[in-house]
Structure 1
Amino acid sequence: MPDLTALFASGHAADLILVVLAVEALILLRAGRPAIDVALLLLPGACMMLGLRAALVGASWPWIALPLAASFPVHLADLLRRGSGR
């Protein structure tokens, strides 16, 4: 069984999720979704994963807080874009 403690302590668990998000972005783009929609959909999650990665590797608090704080306005932009399409 793999050493899950090392996977999380190294931050590679967050890296794995970032790779999954990148693959999802490629799939959505190839399916014809507009790039801006894909970016606004997946960027908040990617920002949170970067914050998680920073926390897992013991980075100082600004490196944790910055991507977490950045995810909120992008999420709001996604909500506004979706709401304006109705």
Structure 2
Amino acid sequence: METELLGYAAGILTTFAFLPQAFRMIRTRQARDVSMTWAASTTAGVFLWLCYGVAKQSLPMISANSLTLLLLFVILFVKIRDRGNPGS
């Protein structure tokens, strides 16, 4: 049980770390300061962590990585959408 609580705490903190960036990108509709390499590789990595969590049947890993993946999809979407705009 203690390791599950540790997993939830880690998941909450790491997922929360993406909220400010996602909200800022939604609000400003700009993604010029976000690296496409970072966005793509982090999204792929979190997807793999989600797959690992599913394989291990770890609810903390599944829930945290699902939410983080959703936030990363928002960041990636704004970055791809703004790629064609000058200054983005």
* TM-score normalised by L of structure 2: 0.49
The higher relative CO (CA closer than 8 Å, separation ≥ 6) is in 2
* TM-score normalised by L of structure 1: 0.50
